[in-house]
Chains A and B, each alone.
Chain A
Amino acid sequence: MSITVKGTIDRKGFGTGTWAIETEQGDTYELHKPPSDLQKAGLKVKVEGNLREDVMTIAMIGPVLEVKKFEVIK
């Protein structure tokens, strides 16, 4: 399922660390294979991606979002 979310990039301290996006509504998505440009805590972005219902992770912080494309919100 393809979705678009707006929010702030955050680094979550589970295991060696996981990249996540926190939306304005307070939902947390785990970013699956985020491009290196997206790996910056505090970055405000709009991310388009697939919700991967078939993926399980060590972080377990919320739905897994596989990034297709993103844009930085100024």
Chain B
Amino acid sequence: MRKLVILGLLFFVGLGWSIATFQGLAAQGTYDRIVIDFREEVGSAQIETQVRAIANQFKVRPSLNSQFSEADHLYIVEGDKTLLKSLRRSDIAKYTEYIEPDYVYSIPESQTKEIRKESQPSATSQAPNDPLYSQQWNLHSIGVEASWQETKGGGATVAVIDTGISQVPDLKETKFAEGYDFVNDQIDASDDNGHGTHVAGTIAQSTNNGFGVAGIAYEATLMPLKVLSAGGGGTVADIAEAIRFAADHGADVVNMSLGGGGESMVMQEAIDYAHKKDVVVIGAAGNSAQNSASYPARYPHVIGVAALDASGQKAPYSNFGAGVNLSAPGGSTAGDNEAGGILQNTIDPSTGESIFAAYQGTSMAAPHVAGVAALVKASGVKDPDEVAAVLAQSARKVQDDGLNHFGAGKLDAAAAVKLALKGKITFNDFFRWLRDNGYLNPRFWIDGGVIALGPKLLMMLGSYLLAFFLRNYFPFTWSWSMASGLVAGSSGLFFLKGFYLFDAPQFPMRLLGSSLPELGSAIQASGALNPLTASVLIPLGLVVLLLGHAQGKWFAIGSTLGVSACLAVSAAIDPQMLWLGDGTIARLFLIVNALLCFGLARLASKSQERMV
């Protein structure tokens, strides 16, 4: 008996050690910035005192994330893991809602090839001389200046399928390819609405020209394709034609800041055609604040983009969930807050005159991705799937995004270009297969980023190891009920968590994809465990109820062991709990309950032995 206890303890110690050295998915994120969010109720005087204390104590300079961060009490400091730990341990922590890494994701160094250097990084600041650039919080937030050290998009062509593009003064130095007006059937594709010119400005506004605002890939070529009338609407047929036109006339990237309508074969075939011709297709996720992106963002081979506001949260109007691959600044001008929108040069549709206007929408988010896609293309990555993989892998990952507000994360221009220049990108063949098969018929969608695979496998493996230990002392035969108990308790059918059916609520999938301890927070899609379900309570109930039942008993014992492994792994990797936080209290709670579960399983199988 003592041997069994020692073995059990050894398992937990071993598990702890392997987890501590485990380089799983969750550990791949790198960061050199730390986000500090002070609690809402902390006064500004107190925050100022604490910010000064951080500066003095850790010799860093906390700064607001953007000019809008003051209201959100959001500060950024440069620092690493050590600083993060010290900050979390310091007195400052109690004034904060969270202190967490500002993750930047990248592929491991071993997968990289030669580094191309077309242009030497300049030692001077990359800030352009456009006078209104300081108001473009959106460009700051995607780190565009650092990306310009490598490329400004020269050689790439971006087709803007929209209301047309008028050559306003701040597009004077931008290169144009011949486009087409599918509404009026003419070559001149000037804008009569203002939307298309604005979108084009985000992609390639003339920059460093001492005038107006900046754009992302300002050395790229714009191809104006007018498919939407002055009223802002257009037909699927025209849009599909425009996509084919773009693919046939050398476009590298297509931006579609438009959406609505139903599924259309014409449209899907046009998109597939463009994809085969190596065109990266970007679509806005839509502005109806609903689960599921609208068409065309949800088609196969389209990168669906959700919108962020100036504080980096999901913009209130943005669609989310199925079909959202990435998030980028779309702004929010709610309450006539012009500064919260995206500022570009466009036309006033009533007079046709040039104006600088702040717009909001996923329409504004998509061209940020199109601009960065042009930078990635200009860096030498040609395959559209590889461009998509670069954008996704380089995006700043958002922890606990259960409802998929952000897709793979927040667009990061600097990291994307850096990753693109490193050379060969390996697009995960498995996910390509999943995606392509899912997309043959756009009814369902798989969010590859939702599951931290490593910990889940560890939980399942751990539960089997525990069962193996028990078996040495209380022989039993493996059965389906035991095995399903182990899975239910440890990991659940976790792959279902990222499975979406378009236009259907996702919570049933989240419930099916959750293990017993996760059930208490599955509906609200929180990553934090609920202490009621993440404890010995459910296993105890199961054992009490099912001990007298021949098959059920083994399910109960299996799930008890599964829960034990799940809690132990959570304690080591991510001890985040509702009400208890993510510190020592949560960790202790999980460890104690994991041990209680193991003890319970031992008692239950022991009673079985006596009964036999």
Chain A residues at the B interface, C-beta cutoff of 8 Å: 12-16, 18, 28, 30, 32-33, 52-64
A15 touching B193, Cβ below 8 Å: yes
A58 touching B258, Cβ below 8 Å: yes
Report how far A28 CA is from B231 CA in the complex, Å: 18
B360 touching A14, Cβ below 8 Å: yes
Query: Which residue of the partner chain, among A12, A13, A15, A64, contacts B260 with CB atoms under 8 Å?
Result: A64
Q: Does B584 contact A (CB under 8 A)?
A: no
**A residues within 8 A CB of B349?**
16
B261 touching A56, Cβ below 8 Å: yes
Report how far A33 CA is from B45 CA in the complex, Å: 53
A54 touching B228, Cβ below 8 Å: no
**B residues within 8 A CB of A15?**
193-195, 198, 232, 359, 361, 363
B264 touching A16, Cβ below 8 Å: no
**A residues within 8 A CB of B345?**
none
A58 touching B162, Cβ below 8 Å: yes
**B residues within 8 A CB of A62?**
260, 288
A64 touching B261, Cβ below 8 Å: yes
| Contact pattern, B 259-272, Cβ under 8 Å of A = 1, otherwise 0 | 11110100000000
The interface residues of chain B, by DSSP majority, are classed as: loop
Query: What is the number of residues of chain B that contact chain A, defined by CB distance less than 8 Å?
Result: 39
Query: Which residue of the partner chain, among A13, A18, A55, contacts B360 with CB atoms under 8 Å?
Result: A13
Q: Does B362 contact A (CB under 8 A)?
A: yes
Report how far A32 CA is from B261 CA in the complex, Å: 12
**A residues within 8 A CB of B296?**
56
**A residues within 8 A CB of B259?**
56-57, 60
The smallest C-beta distance from A31 to any residue of chain B, in angstroms, reads 10
Q: Does B286 contact A (CB under 8 A)?
A: yes
From known contacts A14-B287, A59-B287, infer whether A54 and B363 are also in contact, taking CB-CB under 8 Å.
no
The CB with the most chain A CB atoms within 10 A, among B235, B239, B259, B260, is that of B260
- Interchain Cβ contacts under 8 Å between A and B, 7 examples: A13-B333, A54-B262, A55-B234, A57-B232, A61-B286, A61-B317, A64-B233
**B residues within 8 A CB of A33?**
231, 233
Report how far A59 CA is from B259 CA in the complex, Å: 8
The smallest C-beta distance from B182 to any residue of chain A, in angstroms, reads 12
**A residues within 8 A CB of B235?**
54-56
* Chain B positions 453-494 with a Cβ under 8 Å from a chain A Cβ: none
Report how far A28 CA is from B289 CA in the complex, Å: 11
The CB with the most chain A CB atoms within 10 A, among B195, B233, B234, B295, is that of B233
A54 touching B258, Cβ below 8 Å: no
The CB with the most chain B CB atoms within 10 A, among A32, A52, A60, A62, is that of A60
Report how far A53 CA is from B257 CA in the complex, Å: 17
Q: Does B294 contact A (CB under 8 A)?
A: yes
Report how far A63 CA is from B195 CA in the complex, Å: 20
B260 touching A60, Cβ below 8 Å: yes
**B residues within 8 A CB of A61?**
286-288, 317
Q: Looking across the interface, which residue of chain B has its beta carbon closest to that of A14?
A: B361
**B residues within 8 A CB of A64?**
233, 260-261
A60 touching B239, Cβ below 8 Å: no
Report how far A12 CA is from B359 CA in the complex, Å: 12
The smallest C-beta distance from B329 to any residue of chain A, in angstroms, reads 15
From known contacts A15-B198, A16-B193, infer whether A60 and B228 are also in contact, taking CB-CB under 8 Å.
no
Report how far A52 CA is from B236 CA in the complex, Å: 10
The smallest C-beta distance from B9 to any residue of chain A, in angstroms, reads 56
The CB with the most chain A CB atoms within 10 A, among B262, B288, B319, B334, is that of B288
Q: Does B284 contact A (CB under 8 A)?
A: yes
**A residues within 8 A CB of B264?**
54
Q: Does B237 contact A (CB under 8 A)?
A: yes
Report how far A62 CA is from B349 CA in the complex, Å: 23
9 smallest CB-CB distances across A and B, nearest first, come from: A60-B286, A60-B259, A53-B262, A15-B195, A58-B232, A57-B233, A60-B287, A14-B361, A58-B195
A56 touching B236, Cβ below 8 Å: yes
Q: Looking across the interface, which residue of chain B has its beta carbon closest to that of A63?
A: B260
B359 touching A55, Cβ below 8 Å: no
Q: Does B325 contact A (CB under 8 A)?
A: no
**B residues within 8 A CB of A57?**
228, 232-234, 258-260
From known contacts A55-B234, A58-B257, A60-B294, infer whether A28 and B288 are also in contact, taking CB-CB under 8 Å.
yes
